[in-house]
Structure 1
């Protein structure tokens, strides 16, 4: 049965998972091992505290914290109380967080105390004022964890205690009042190409999309799922927390990506499922400590990006022996998932495409005039289906720029469909280069560069050129085999492997590519470096 029809709302999913998988391990965090029944009870306590604090259906409740059990409990508790969840990027500075809180009119904020040496509470007070005067609609700030709270804020323990007087029946009544069509969350785009905007998505859209994702991925009861993708991102929250609730899989949240810690978790917890961006798997494969870890429990890897090197897919299957390596494509505006490989696809499909559209989802490619293009022709990717957002939160102008009158979402991504409907995402429209009149797509060039054994990662940006108008400049991370690789050698290799207009005119070797917390390369930073 479709997950949206089976559960109706995320709150009912939490309750159903607590009943179906009661004694099975739900969350592992350090020495804490919590069952699904235990998690359900904690979520109910958090929902009761939200009711006691005056949270009403439709209120926006934000969470600004890393991947922890407290994040899971606070977020699901707020959603169970009928609130609309607003996850905040943990890489935000105080002013960026305040901007999102103000734009959404959030009335409650759950915030971590200190993370990666930064006091998030202090950052919030610096940006919004000691009395939070720049956030007049923010009624409550709760500091997660065991840390103390400044005057006017509540500790997590105090907040939960406030809900002790709310009867369980009141929580069940509120949870039961949530309709499938009600908004469940506002997920802000990563902002790599402009100011972040909040995509509004409903309970039904979320449940249906990630019920389908879980089915296609083959996630099953008893799987042990290491969630490295940040919870503020669709990949971490919905393909992680919610998918595990649907299938009875154990969540092992990891707050910060560290290859050595991932290797240790896989070995100690017998991790079987590990989704993540390509850079995560590249780091694992190349880590010097990898041979000392038993990674044989891994059976499912799901990854996705504009450029997933073929060699990465081959290495995951060959060196790690992972039987199922799938690729997918999605975006916040389409509930995080649009296309996905099937488990019975030939290996080359996962290595060269992002799979086919989900059921009841249409994907097409159009030219600059909006005309549909045949297979093999690159153009803008358009999507229409149940998972397309209702719009950007309180931003009709921005919504009209991407959603047309016929319900098509204009993604701004460039892609190619093959005759079987498999989609290859080549780039963002704004990233496309015009080299001497030819369209060159950085993601395609990056994929080709990663075919060199000495290249681990590559990112290409455009720079002005007096003769050709624009040419590519590549930032390259050498692989272990490429320690002695030079710019001249790589350019000469490129001239043999790709059309002349695609060949980068300059190569800069770097230790690592700049990325945001969602794992996407920050092309804006590279453009600034190139301009300098």
Structure 2
């Protein structure tokens, strides 16, 4: 199996040639495009091992930039498009990125202006190279004309399987983001395993709504298509009418996403007007999936439905298989995949993973790495689960406080840290509460300092200026005090029980 991303790009051009790869590009043209990006990066004096931050929504240019950076021997650092300028600056700063490709104004937000404002406030210079997409894309590529193709090819050939391919930042229970490092061999092995179980082939057209900055969108999306010959069809933002139109026009066969994506499609009043018959596979997870929904998806969409489980540190650890019944698909996350071993720790029931495709570790954080991976090589996931006699995994709870809002992980400690900066806040606690549309949303319990008063709107507005939208609590309760244990830790399980009781 190909074990570096540049080799995979070259192999795909050889094996799939004139087959469609990305929008109107063939795999041969995809190689040419990646090589052109690599030449531009070389012209801008980025060296092998340098890190390139990419802050943009799903697009063909995102794919070319990602593959081109690997072709030039760089390490890719995707940035969450929902991040504020302050959050993005933290990732860019801590990764030591020497280059930044950034979207122009998108969804009413000028991210470059926000980033510059944050950098000015922090006194931190932006990277050596900053390219705004799409306005400066052609100019950026043109600079590579002075670099011979052979120089880019030599860079690609020098990449080794154990080089760091990407660093994906994800928050931990402390709220401090951690950069998860993966080698080329690991990213590609996970992609190949996912593609194999999903049965991806050059006959497939894969609509990637999952963000490319996420490990799933990058590895079970872009790289899975690269190793299987499936065509990538990127969608920047999930929009039900646009998604339905794309499925019909592009004859989409594969569409992963959270359960709410599928219910939104099936429940839309115009659903009957669109031809969704090309769909053959839906892959979901990240939330409880009722068996009735699996049956409905199979009946109304005509697609097979699989569920999976993973995390940034492991990407895809378990997955259902074709032919699994609706209850298995709905109530489990499947069985081990991508070379992983799965076991349940006793006591406590924590899910542990071990395998060759587990992360290399956290960037510049050996202590956090040692906490996550024990002496036996087992990754402690922080999730509680059980294995049945077939080896199928069911996630039953979380050891961590993390909850999932619209398919995105939210770490309450990060939100609480932001709330601590609000004048008048003495203490706060954030939990996830059930929401019919997003699965879970945040609720913040706030204790004011003596003499201070805060309204719900003031607290929410404060958070909006400092946190990505999915992290902002949807409701606020101001309390005189919070429940604590003897050591002073807030007893969040009591808050969750109270919220569940209505």
Q: What TM-score results when the alignment is normalised by the length of structure 2?
A: 0.80
Per the alignment, in what secondary structure is the counterpart of residue 386 of structure 2?
strand
Q: Deviations over 1:79-100 (max 9, x none)?
A: 1111110000000110111000
- Counterpart selection for 2:229 from 239, 245, 248: 248
In the other structure, the counterpart of 1:181 is: 162
**CA 1:69/1:523 → structure 2, altered by over 3 Å: closer, same or farther?**
closer
Q: How does 1:475-494 map to 2 (within 5 A)?
A: 475-477=434-436
Alpha-carbon distance in 2 for matches of 1:328, 1:359: 12
Pair 1:135-2:116 in alignment: no
- Counterpart selection for 1:410 from 369, 380, 383: 380
Pair 1:326-2:294 in alignment: no
Q: Deviations over 1:114-172 (max 9, x none)?
A: 11011111111111129x95036x21101111x2xxxxxxx222221111111111111
The Cα shift of 1:196 comes to 2.2
In structure 1, list runs of 5 or more residues that go unmatched. Answer: 1-5, 148-154, 370-378, 433-441, 447-458, 462-469, 480-515
Report if the CA contact (8 A) 2:189-2:338 is conserved: no
In structure 2, list runs of 5 or more residues that go unmatched. Answer: 413-428, 439-463, 480-502
Alpha-carbon distance in 2 for matches of 1:320, 1:364: 35
- Counterpart selection for 2:202 from 195, 212, 221: 221
In the other structure, the counterpart of 2:258 is: 277
Q: Deviations over 1:413-456 (max 9, x none)?
A: 11111111100112221349xxxxxxxxx99xx9xxxxxxxxxx
Q: How many residues align?
A: 429
Report if the CA contact (8 A) 1:58-1:82 is conserved: yes
Report if the CA contact (8 A) 2:190-2:220 is conserved: no
Alpha-carbon distance in 2 for matches of 1:530, 1:276: 32
- Counterpart selection for 1:364 from 316, 327, 343: 343
Q: Deviations over 1:328-383 (max 9, x none)?
A: 0001111x1000011132332112101001153111111347xxxxxxxxx11010
Report if the CA contact (8 A) 1:98-1:135 is conserved: no
Pair 1:52-2:43 in alignment: yes
**CA 1:192/1:300 → structure 2, altered by over 3 Å: closer, same or farther?**
farther
Report if the CA contact (8 A) 1:192-1:523 is conserved: no
Report if the CA contact (8 A) 1:306-1:425 is conserved: no
Alpha-carbon distance in 1 for matches of 2:357, 2:289: 24
- Counterpart selection for 1:111 from 91, 102, 109: 102
Alpha-carbon distance in 2 for matches of 1:82, 1:473: 41
- Counterpart selection for 2:2 from 7, 21, 36: 7
In the other structure, the counterpart of 1:393 is: 363
The Cα shift of 1:210 comes to 1.2
RMSD: 2.7
The Cα shift of 1:8 comes to 2.0
Report if the CA contact (8 A) 1:180-1:203 is conserved: yes
**CA 1:175/1:478 → structure 2, altered by over 3 Å: closer, same or farther?**
closer
Alpha-carbon distance in 2 for matches of 1:474, 1:171: 50
Deviates more, 1:19-28 or 1:410-419: 19-28
Q: What TM-score results when the alignment is normalised by the length of structure 1?
A: 0.76
In the other structure, the counterpart of 2:14 is: 19
Alpha-carbon distance in 2 for matches of 1:79, 1:104: 16
Report if the CA contact (8 A) 1:383-1:410 is conserved: yes
Alpha-carbon distance in 2 for matches of 1:406, 1:266: 46
In the other structure, the counterpart of 1:494 is: none
In the other structure, the counterpart of 2:267 is: 286
The Cα shift of 1:58 comes to 1.3
The Cα shift of 1:478 comes to 7.8
Alpha-carbon distance in 2 for matches of 1:134, 1:474: 37
